[in-house]
Structure 1
Amino acid sequence: MAALRPVRWSLGGPAGRPSGGRRVVVGGAVTLGVVLGALTGCTSEPPGPQDAAEALAAGLAAGDLSEVDLVAGTTPAQAQDGLASAFEALAAVTPAVTLRDARVDAADDASATATLDFAWDLDGPGGAEPWTYATTAHLQRDDEDVWRTAWTPAILAPDLTADEALVVTREAAPRAEVLGADDEVIVEARPVHRIGIDKTRVTAADQDAAARGLAAALELDADAYAERVASAGDKAFVEAIVVRDTDDEYDVDRLSRLPGVLAVADELPLAPTRDFARPVLGTVGTATAEIIEKSGGAVAAGDLAGLSGLQRQYDAVLRGTPGLTVAARSDDGDRELMTIDPVAGQDLRTTLDVDLQSAAEDVLADVAPASALVAVRPSTGEVLAAASGPGGEGLSTATLGQYAPGSTFKVVSTLALLRSGLGPASTVSCPPSVVVDGRQFDNFPDYPADALGEVPLRTAFANSCNTAFIGQRAAAPQDALVDAAGSLGLMPAESLGFSSFLGTVPSDSDGTDHAATMIGQGRVLASPLGMATVAASVAAGRTVTPVLVVDPPADEDGDTATDGSAGSTETSPDEDGSDDASTGTDEPRPLVPLAADEAAQLRDLMRAVVTDGGASFLQDVPGADVLAKTGTAQFGPQEDLRNHVWMIAVQGDLAVAVFVDEGEYGSTTAGPLLTRFLEDPAVARG
């Protein structure tokens, strides 16, 4: 439509003339109503502030104000600098900023107020509630109907001024304790000294010598430690070792007098000794970059975190929630804006018995190969001890080791035979050797001659006759062995709430592989925990599921930390006629419950091992009668065969498995270790 020019009307002037002497003729007549109608129909409302306010909220959330229109006097670059300066301490976190509303002032339609809601997730997922607050922004509409924001730091945080910046102070929560049986404290804060080179205490030229001197005193790798010191910052403290205040092995005062060395007093969550259940419990230390990244903000640089074992798996539960304080800081001090108190972690309850765990570790202390001793209470399934010897080099041989169980698996094979109709008095043939599909199987070299021939199953079991069990393989098909293993607790898919492996029995074995399975070799694998569970199931008269963590809390993101399996999983072609190292049962079969009468017969047979067989040395152990089974499993190439050695035993309400990676026989290598454990006063007290 054509532009309208303003017209002044004078109805009291000469007829037909507007004032000012101009003549206007519209259709022969001019009326006031027509012109006013034209003016009203072509006038539009000015734009509201909504779009501009939403652009401001989006720019604040993105940390980019370049697209925000500002009132003259402040450039986008200046506003951006103010935002960066104010939020510098929060640079790693992005706020959620939403527009609550934008209202035009009632008295001035060129002014508006926008209310912005901020939410900062300062503590990552699973932490404290987000820090939330609202701020107000003022907007003005200019002559071109563009709404512009009047920039002020108070848009960013309540009452924030140009000389203030936000600061965040983080207070770590007290880390919770790890408890054992009867809630006895195992892991708690204990005084330590962090010992290392403080690079501010020694000249640059002397730092290498200082690092090597400390490494030599601590018997550490001097080259590796010197390299760490050299690569650290100019003012860094480079930790070499953490020493308990109760550890007499290190003279902290003497170490502190070495050039450049600083001993920093601190506290760390520690078990009673450096080695106490360490492969299972794990360790706590300064959070790694990987842990920090995976935590999504819940763990910050410098925080303590679980580095392995249960400490890592349940770190989110144990570490609690840190406290946070946000303040506006200026030269005049801090103005507090928000405070969240730290929330202590939740104690992790385990079933470990401190005295029995210590006794088990004492038994294994001088065993050179990888070794383990596991003790389970049959009536409850509680794992009382899960000790791994030093030969495992820090891996949990007790709970993660995967080894052929040898003749201890004959408890499983015997259960399958009992279910086929045999009994302890049933006659079986025990020749010196037996051939299956061209492969010869022998008894162990010192097998007693008077136990050969046609003998009761009790005699074959007590003396561990390989040929008798292999000769009965037709009565115990592979599926029957898988079922019997499950009945005794060897369930490969069982989730126990901690990093563990019980055992596997392949379902597809036949020929020599099936024959090898009958005597616990071939592709059968078990852990010491698994074989202790077998013994516990026999003692309890039902299928036992081991328990180590009591009422396990949900672990972080449902993730289960695994430190890797301990020990060899390989078998040789000379054991099973195959190079196949497959370990898994294809599909878990339905559990066949262990019947009470089956367990009673197995207990009778295991007692015969002590009274009439290869574990007679256990007859003199004080206390209740001991039931047992020996085990030896060959591994390695034919020209260099070696033996995994085992003993499992039951005494009263205690089931034990002892394993040594390389030894002579179960009775001669693992047997003395079992005897020492059962005779330990802590074990004898029950």
Structure 2
Amino acid sequence: MYGRAVISWVGLCLLLLLPACTPRAARPVVAPGGPEDLASQFLDAWARNDVAAQRKGLLDAPPDFDAQHARWRQDLGVVASRFEQPSLESDDGVTAVVRFRGVHTLRGLGDWEVESRLRFERRNSRWGLRWTPEVLHPAARPGDRFGRTRSWGPRGALLDADGDPLTVPGEVIRIGVMPGRVKDRAAVASVLQAQLGVDPSRVLSALNAASAQPEQFVAFIDVRPERYQQVRAVLAPVPGIFFRKKAARLSPAEGFAAHTLGRVGDATAEALQLLGPLYQAGDVVGLSGLERAQERALAGRPSGEVRLSHRSGDSEVLHRFDGEPGRDVRTTLRMDVQAAAEAALMDVTWPAALVAVDTSTGEVLAVASRPLGEALHRALTGRYPPGSTFKIVTAEALLASGLKPDSRADCPVEVTAGRKRFRNFESEVLGTTTLRRVFALSCNTAFIQLEAKLDRRALEDAARRFGFGVGYDVGLPSPGATFPEPRDDAEHAAAAMGQGRVLATPLHMATVAAAADSGVWHAPRLLADAPPGPEARLSPGTPKALRELMRAVVTEGTAKSAASLSGLMGKTGTAEFGTAVPPQTHAWFVGVRGGIGFAVFVEGGGVGGRVAVPLAARFLQALDAPDAIALPPGRL
């Protein structure tokens, strides 16, 4: 009995479980020409925006079917539609209802999900779709009209390291022309170039293109109110030139961190393509710098509604898009350090850059590029041979091998490496002296000879410790620095003095100076909330000796003109480039003082000690001034 009961119970369990174990019923096959098949064809055509194909399957199509669909798309800003597989809800052989779910992407708002029905009738043994506005939305009736609203919340601000705003709401003056009022095109182009640096060819080209609309205002440049007051008296009397006020986000002063902060303005076609469907023509967006890189955080998300207006005059909200206000983005920039950098480059006419970083963290404290009217942010994206500033790296490799600042070094006028002759700048000869002196006076031949005695990979390893070849994310595009493996003795010799294929940005060279002071190379970063990037520790014992060498550059070497600045350490660089004879040179100076590492670079500027050092002195003097945190005239 007991055994039979057990068997019976097991059998009962198997019977109860059997239905669960059987395969699920397959989805019914959709009959060709049936309601589901026709619904799929209609929705596929809708997704392709093929109105003619949609119309083919309709019974008694409304005469304005095409117009209704076009108006629906236009009024809602529909850029794409996609649909799930429709499902049959009812079918009595004469009429049928197919339920479907669609997702419509609305330009500037996002996805709107709609569930509705398609109603079919059978005539002469064939099914057809009876279309009504209900297809577009269950609440829609003939004569109703779809519409939408959309608005952005307040844009977030770019903040400095202390949380104070670097950008504030303000006003600019847009300067342009009315083509039909211009009497002398050459005069207009000339005065805009002379006063504001506008390219004359751009003015003439725009005037030619706008000839069909003579009363259309053609804008060329936006200027701050203080700049407008300076040029108005010259521009206003010229027939055809007009001025318009425009709301804008302004930095504390004209040109202040201009390349880094960037600018906002009407979205361009390129910006719309990159930003995606949440944006539309007419939106004000970040066009450059951090305003562009941090656009999604600063702008937030637009809010809006999909509305249906009935013939009765009533309206209802079909869907709401919940927006988000923009978020503030805190940078690592320090207002006082940035103001000092701007002051240092205020009247520099050569292409130039100045970058300052915190020696203990790699945080970027200031970054400035010139000229302001050029889009290239040379401080971050320009890569150049670092010249003798790279001797900091070479010296670290020498010190790591056991040399001391007082170790012997020979400085002849010329040496040969790999069948290539290398000479000192201005044919300098120091004879037999010390590592300290050849570093302070930047003797090329000494460093070439000393580096040749090292292991073949010693210089490459030292470069790696200073971040060469290391990728990092600053917060804006910046390619860092490269140290390709030297292919022969000649390339080794060139690399030892920062020439050959060695390249670095001014930003990266600021981190090199900082690492020499702190003993740790930190990848630079511009955003306060970004995680720290890669870092590398210098060889044990080398930072102290490096500081001694870099101090000697200021007290007795090529940067002696800045000896009055107490505590300053650094390295000058005069980097050759191009094929001219004698070669052109970039002017460099990288330095450290008071926990700030910095690099000054003047493109094609000449000799580092004569050009870059005075700019570095001006930077530090501005930073030391009692009113160091005061900004140039024009702060709002």
TM-score with structure 2 length normalisation?
0.83
1:280-316 CA deviation, whole Å, 9 max, x = no partner? 3332222222222333323211222332333333333
Alpha-carbon separation, structure 2, partners of 1:225 and 1:295: 29
Residue 212 of structure 1 contacts residue 223 of structure 1 at CA under 8 Å; is this kept in 2?
Answer: no
Alpha-carbon separation, structure 2, partners of 1:67 and 1:372: 61
The answer as to 2:75 corresponding to 1:89 is yes
Residue 341 of structure 2 contacts residue 354 of structure 2 at CA under 8 Å; is this kept in 1?
Answer: yes
Alignment of 1:241-640 (within 5 A): 241-250=221-230, 263-329=243-309, 332=313, 335-390=316-371, 393-445=374-426, 447=428, 452-552=430-530, 593-622=537-566, 625-637=567-579, 639-640=581-582
Label 1:185 to 1:340 Cα distance change in 2 as closer, same or farther (>3 A): same
Alpha-carbon separation, structure 2, partners of 1:296 and 1:351: 29
Label 1:433 to 1:71 Cα distance change in 2 as closer, same or farther (>3 A): closer
The answer as to 2:116 corresponding to 1:172 is no
Q: Which secondary structure state, in structure 1, belongs to the residue aligned with residue 203 of structure 2?
A: helix
Q: What is the letter of the counterpart of residue 279 of structure 1?
A: H
Alpha-carbon separation, structure 1, partners of 2:576 and 2:233: 51
RMSD, aligned CA: 3.4
Q: Which secondary structure state, in structure 1, belongs to the residue aligned with residue 573 of structure 2?
A: strand
2:126 to 146, 169, 173: 146
Tell me the number of residue pairs that the alignment of Structure 1 and Structure 2 aligns: 588
Label 1:62 to 1:352 Cα distance change in 2 as closer, same or farther (>3 A): same
Alpha-carbon separation, structure 1, partners of 2:304 and 2:294: 22
Q: Which secondary structure state, in structure 2, belongs to the residue aligned with residue 181 of structure 1?
A: coil
Label 1:85 to 1:543 Cα distance change in 2 as closer, same or farther (>3 A): closer
Alpha-carbon separation, structure 2, partners of 1:169 and 1:317: 22
Per the TM alignment, residue 92 of structure 1 is displaced from its structure 2 partner at its CA by: 4.9
Label 1:597 to 1:531 Cα distance change in 2 as closer, same or farther (>3 A): same
Label 1:307 to 1:71 Cα distance change in 2 as closer, same or farther (>3 A): closer
Q: Which secondary structure state, in structure 1, belongs to the residue aligned with residue 166 of structure 2?
A: strand
Per the TM alignment, residue 428 of structure 1 is displaced from its structure 2 partner at its CA by: 1.8
Alpha-carbon separation, structure 1, partners of 2:574 and 2:440: 14
Q: What is the letter of the counterpart of residue 303 of structure 1?
A: D
1:621-672 CA deviation, whole Å, 9 max, x = no partner? 25xx111212222334353322222111111211121112234432221111
Partner of 2:94: 110
Q: Which secondary structure state, in structure 1, belongs to the residue aligned with residue 581 of structure 2?
A: helix
Q: Which secondary structure state, in structure 2, belongs to the residue aligned with residue 608 of structure 1?
A: helix
Per the TM alignment, residue 484 of structure 1 is displaced from its structure 2 partner at its CA by: 0.8
Label 1:81 to 1:519 Cα distance change in 2 as closer, same or farther (>3 A): closer
Partner of 2:612: 670
Per the TM alignment, residue 537 of structure 1 is displaced from its structure 2 partner at its CA by: 0.4
The answer as to 2:117 corresponding to 1:136 is yes
Partner of 2:10: none
Alpha-carbon separation, structure 2, partners of 1:305 and 1:641: 44
Q: Which secondary structure state, in structure 1, belongs to the residue aligned with residue 343 of structure 2?
A: helix
Alpha-carbon separation, structure 2, partners of 1:247 and 1:158: 57
1:312-368 CA deviation, whole Å, 9 max, x = no partner? 333333332222332234674754433324322333322112222222122122222
Alpha-carbon separation, structure 2, partners of 1:412 and 1:357: 27
Q: What is the letter of the counterpart of residue 312 of structure 1?
A: R
1:72-126 CA deviation, whole Å, 9 max, x = no partner? 5x23764334323333334652222346543337xx65333333323212147xx
Per the TM alignment, residue 59 of structure 1 is displaced from its structure 2 partner at its CA by: 4.2
Residue 161 of structure 2 contacts residue 332 of structure 2 at CA under 8 Å; is this kept in 1?
Answer: yes
Q: Considering only CA atoms, is the larger Rg found in Structure 1 or Structure 2? A: 1
Residue 377 of structure 1 contacts residue 536 of structure 1 at CA under 8 Å; is this kept in 2?
Answer: yes
Q: What is the letter of the counterpart of residue 613 of structure 1?
A: G
Label 1:184 to 1:65 Cα distance change in 2 as closer, same or farther (>3 A): same
Residue 42 of structure 2 contacts residue 53 of structure 2 at CA under 8 Å; is this kept in 1?
Answer: no
Per the TM alignment, residue 162 of structure 1 is displaced from its structure 2 partner at its CA by: 2.8
Residue 553 of structure 2 contacts residue 571 of structure 2 at CA under 8 Å; is this kept in 1?
Answer: yes
Alpha-carbon separation, structure 2, partners of 1:675 and 1:95: 62
Partner of 2:66: 80
Partner of 1:187: 167
Residue 69 of structure 1 contacts residue 149 of structure 1 at CA under 8 Å; is this kept in 2?
Answer: no
Residue 255 of structure 2 contacts residue 372 of structure 2 at CA under 8 Å; is this kept in 1?
Answer: no
Q: Which secondary structure state, in structure 2, belongs to the residue aligned with residue 620 of structure 1?
A: coil
**Structure 1 residues not aligned, in runs of 5+:** 1-44, 200-205, 554-589
Per the TM alignment, residue 601 of structure 1 is displaced from its structure 2 partner at its CA by: 1.3
Alpha-carbon separation, structure 2, partners of 1:92 and 1:237: 31
Q: Which secondary structure state, in structure 2, belongs to the residue aligned with residue 139 of structure 1?
A: strand
Per the TM alignment, residue 425 of structure 1 is displaced from its structure 2 partner at its CA by: 2.0
Per the TM alignment, residue 156 of structure 1 is displaced from its structure 2 partner at its CA by: 1.2
Label 1:477 to 1:47 Cα distance change in 2 as closer, same or farther (>3 A): closer
TM-score with structure 1 length normalisation?
0.77
Partner of 2:25: none
Greater CA deviation, 285-294 or 54-63?
54-63
Alpha-carbon separation, structure 1, partners of 2:509 and 2:547: 15
Q: Which secondary structure state, in structure 2, belongs to the residue aligned with residue 118 of structure 1?
A: strand
Greater CA deviation, 544-553 or 347-356?
544-553
Residue 467 of structure 2 contacts residue 536 of structure 2 at CA under 8 Å; is this kept in 1?
Answer: no
Q: What is the letter of the counterpart of residue 543 of structure 2?
A: A
Greater CA deviation, 515-524 or 377-386?
515-524
Per the TM alignment, residue 676 of structure 1 is displaced from its structure 2 partner at its CA by: 1.2
Per the TM alignment, residue 221 of structure 1 is displaced from its structure 2 partner at its CA by: 4.8
Partner of 2:4: none
Alpha-carbon separation, structure 2, partners of 1:70 and 1:629: 79
Q: Which secondary structure state, in structure 1, belongs to the residue aligned with residue 547 of structure 2?
A: helix
Per the TM alignment, residue 378 of structure 1 is displaced from its structure 2 partner at its CA by: 0.3
